[in-house]
Amino acid sequence: MTTAKQQHAEDPQTAGVRERLDALIAEAGVASQRSLIRRIAEAGLGLGHDGTTRLDLKITATAVEEMRAAFRLFAPFRGVPKVTIFGSARTQSHDPLWVGAEAAARGLAEQGWMVVTGAGPGIMEAAATGAGPERSLGISIRLPFEEAPLDVAADDDHRIAMKYFFTRKLMLVKESRGFICLPGGFGTMDETFELLTLQQTGKMEPMPIVLLDRDGGTYWRSFARFVVEELAGAGLIAVDDLDRVLVTDSPEAAIAEVTGFWRNYDSLRWQGERLVLRVRTDPSDAELADLNERFSGLCESGEIARTAPLPSEVADGDALDLPRIVFTPRRRAVGDLYRLIRALNELESAPRELQPVQRTVGTAGTAGAVGAPGGQLAT
């Protein structure tokens, strides 16, 4: 099957203008990543050669412009850990769910995290209020029948508005290192299922996902029961696919899940069929033996072993200061991988104090969750 990238590379309509594009890109003052900039320009020319309709061209142009605006929004905060909080736009300020979202956001902001929301009312406003204007980032959607985005963010450097849901959803996920979902309608369910799908299919590396409810609430427990009984029960997903999600009614537990996920675990990277996990402290011999006994079913072959940085990691200068373990996993063992990460975080040798999460993980096309290589979102 020909991929879009291969089709573009073979496009005879754009091949003849590459030298002129290179000259134009240089003249425009683009100093880095010129081959990718040329590839974007060539794709645009290809759309013209294809006779693409005006509507489809408008969709393409708007999507690229919206992604550029989002990249610019996040760029100044690239080294700051972020959590995205999803939930209903209809939740009122007296609702315990509002209070829980505000408390979770405030607690994470106090630990150095930024909070990303959809910049709307309800849970989104509660989370942005809890984080405060300097610690919140908002990506709103322009809708003909909804209220204007709330003015919670510090200024226009902390918020943008988008036309398309698909670009908005991409940016609500791409930069974050954790996710908290509170009860909501179709939009919240869409966002929650997308998170689960991205992780199940390996298009996003492992991240903490929390389903936060009010005290005694049944929304997420009913959701989990449906997933286990109907989806897993019918063999449509693996029985343990939901094991990587925390269902809780405690904002404090939500905060601990998001921050604690990064206590010892740092990042991962594929090397062919082998998966490298980078950690903050090297497991002892006894701890490594225990991990092999507990997680033998995770390995397709061989065992979990220590390793020095692999050649591809050395070539990219990728987290060379960190200890790492390596193994060959079963490709669909998502639940087991999450249990291994939690076990690494609970080792006696693991740092007792939570470490700041400051760097973007992996190198494009090489890091990713079980199932496929990729970055935080696979390329």
d(CA 351, CA 366): 27
Query: Which residues share a beta bridge with 324?
Result: 278
Q: What is the mean pLDDT of residues 11-35?
A: 83
d(CA 137, CA 217): 28
Which domains can be identified in the chain, with CATH numbers?
A: 4-75 (no CATH), 77-260 (3.40.50.450), 264-379 (no CATH)
Q: What is the mean pLDDT of residues 316-331?
A: 93
d(CA 354, CA 263): 5
Burial class for 319, CB neighbours closer than 10 Å (0-12, 13-18, 19+): buried
Torsion 377-295-235-217 (CA) sign: negative
For every residue of 152-166, DSSP letters joined together read: -SSSGGGEEEES-HH
d(CA 127, CA 152): 10
Residue 291 pLDDT level (bands cut at 50, 70, 90)? very high
Span 206-226, pLDDT tens digits: 999 999 999 999 999 999 999
Supply the pLDDT for residue 368.
40
Of the candidates 181, 241, 234, 233, the residue with the CA atom closest to the CA atom of residue 210: 181
Top pLDDT among 333 and 68 is at 68
Q: Please count the other Cβ atoms lying within 10 Å of the Cβ belonging to residue 21.
A: 17
Backbone angles phi, psi at 188, to 5 degrees: -65, -40
Return the SS3 of 366. Answer: coil
Span 135-155, pLDDT tens digits: 999 999 998 766 555 555 445
Start-to-end CA span in the chain (Å): 18
Q: Rg (Cα) of the chain, in Å, rounded?
A: 22
Residue 60 in tokens: 């393409």
Cβ neighbours of residue 42 under 8 Å, at least 6 residues apart? 8, 11, 14, 17, 18, 21
Residue 327 in tokens: 């193994």
